[in-house]
Amino acid sequence: MTEAPLPPAEPPAGKPTSAARSTLSRIMTVLDTNLLGTVHGGVVMKLVDDVAGVVAQRHSGGAAVTASMDEMVFLQPVRVGDLVHAEAQVNWAGRTSMEVGVRVLAEPWNEAGVPPTRVATAYLVFVAVDDEGRPREVPPVLPETAEDRRRVGEAEIRRAHRLARRAAILQSRKTATP
């Protein structure tokens, strides 16, 4: 007996931006410092990658891997004793990839009423993967506020630049003389 063909896969339903928005917080200790005594940039990058991974996993409903991290900007030094918050959300979702935006804030752990300062910003691309590590489809992101919509538009500009840069470099390698 021949089996009936499977119906075409349903496109994944959209998810609102707020569904995956996440924050990770951590107090910086002497183990996190560089030789200048401030917090090592790699410690902040790890927190950024961790929170972005949480967001990508929540939005895509499964495993997702970091494909790229760009525009990691350090605005202010982070100090021992700072309580650091990494806040992240999906800015844009494509077929299998997502751009996650991360904002990092720091506040002294022991001073009440001091507003958190923005210390870093980053944009990462995550790709949702199946059990074999192959890209799998992700739901569209449904922006809920004017700010979410602005982020979608700006993420599309960054994606166009990433793809154009990659294509230009590949083209230049093809035409470069050894």
Please report where in the chains the tokens 């961790």 appear, as a residue.
Answer: 50
Tokens of 35: 């030789």
- Candidates 13-21, 25-33, 104-112, 124-132: pick the segment binding ligand COA (CB under 6 A): 124-132
CB of 90 to ligand COA, least distance (A): 12
Best CA proximity match to 101, nearest among 161, 163, 41, 153: 153
**Cα distances (angstroms) measured from residue 146 to each of 117, 123, 129:** 23, 19, 30
CB of 148 to ligand COA, least distance (A): 18
Positive or negative torsion for Cα 130, 133, 134, 135: positive
Q: How many residues bind ligand COA (CB under 6 A)?
A: 14
Please report where in the chains the tokens 């902040």 appear, as a residue.
Answer: 44
CB closer to ligand COA, 82 vs 97:
97
| Site for ligand COA contains 22 (CB under 6 A) | no
| Site for ligand COA contains 73 (CB under 6 A) | no
Residues in 86-105 at the binding interface with ligand COA, rule: CB under 6 A = 94-97
- Indicate which single residue of 67, 72, 83, 142 sits in contact with ligand COA (rule: CB under 6 A): 67
- Candidates 13-21, 61-69, 115-123, 141-149: pick the segment binding ligand COA (CB under 6 A): 61-69
| Site for ligand COA contains 152 (CB under 6 A) | no
| Site for ligand COA contains 68 (CB under 6 A) | yes
Best CA proximity match to 161, nearest among 70, 98, 89, 82: 70
Best CA proximity match to 119, nearest among 134, 135, 98, 103: 103
Q: Phi and psi dihedrals of 45, rounded to 5?
A: -60, -40
| Site for ligand COA, rule CB under 6 A | 65-68, 94-97, 125, 127, 129, 133, 135, 162
